[in-house]
Amino acid sequence: METQPSALSPQPSTVRINAFLASAGLGSRRAVERLVLEGRVQVNGSIIRELSHRVDPSHDQVTCDGKPALPASLRYVMLNKPRGYACTRSDPHGGKTIYDLLPVELRHLAHAGRLDVDSEGLLLLSNDGDWIFKLTHPSNEVAKTYVVEVEGEPDRQTLEKAQLGIQSQGERLKVESVTKLERTGRVTRLKLILREGKNREIRRIFGALHHPVISLRREAVGKLKLGALKSGAWRELEKGELLAAGC
């Protein structure tokens, strides 16, 4: 999966109560779940015992044992995801996840969109729900840039088909632009830009066009570029980057 909008509610700034409590420094996810189940947490004066309950950190008043649970400061992180890591908090098959690459204090962050296990490159994470919503919602059409290696050498007509779009499983799939970078033997490197990412969209397009994807790396999201960040490494975004991104 190259990019996929997160399953956001109509109020994208809300977070699950356990994630909020963990980010407020009240313990690990498991520890704060016990606080909720024991009835020690109140939201706007009412005891909350449901772990699925969501809160809006900018409006709701959350207390634990009668003491305010203060919203965590907003964090914005760039991660260079390696191949072999899943964009999930826990892999049911026991595989590696992107959260294994982050320190404990950042593991409450949500990822903005996804990269499938076999893909690599730029992944953005934050506890700012509005920011994630702006990055991922299809209506905002934030450009995502990829460098992709495919089997064979697609001709001009094939690349035009990728831009015009194909039908796959009831969906219209297309890239906004595609540039041929180089050919080495039976492999061609392409630079692609997507505005709206669907499930494994790039792989599905070029598979249908008989040029299966060998490797896929996301280089940029909007004006935020991966740059020289090493595979598996992360860093916090600078204020200037956030302003330049316009999100």
pLDDT tens sequence for the chain (247 residues): 454 444 333 344 688 898 888 777 787 677 889 999 999 999 999 999 999 999 988 789 999 999 999 877 888 999 999 999 999 887 777 799 999 999 988 988 889 989 999 999 999 998 887 788 888 888 888 999 999 999 999 999 999 999 999 999 889 999 999 999 999 999 999 999 999 878 899 999 999 999 999 999 999 999 999 999 999 999 999 988 887 775 5
Question: What's the whole-model pTM score?
Answer: 0.74
Determine whether 116 is an active site residue. Answer: yes
Which of 65, 116, 130, 155 is catalytic? The answer is 116
Domains and CATH numbers, the chain: 15-68 (3.10.290.10), 76-139+223-245 (3.30.70.580), 143-221 (3.30.70.1560)
| Per-residue b or e along 108-146, where b marks 16 or more CB atoms closer than 10 Å to that residue's CB | bbbbbbbbbbebbbbbbbbbbbebbbbbbeeeeebebbb
* pLDDT for position 191: 98
pLDDT tens-place string over residues 117-168: 999 999 999 888 778 888 888 888 899 999 999 999 999 999 999 999 999 9
pLDDT score at 11 = 43
CB 80 within 8 A of CB 232: yes
153: left (phi over 0), alpha (psi -120 to 50) or beta: beta
- What is residue 247's predicted lDDT score, i.e. its pLDDT? 56
The four Cα atoms 125, 141, 138, 128 give a dihedral, to 10 degrees, of 30
Backbone angles phi, psi at 124, to 5 degrees: -105, 140
pLDDT at 34: 93
Q: Which residue has the tokens 């809160």?
A: 55
Beta bridge mates, 189: 149, 182
Provide the pLDDT for residue 103.
Answer: 93
Looking at residue 5, what is its pLDDT? 43
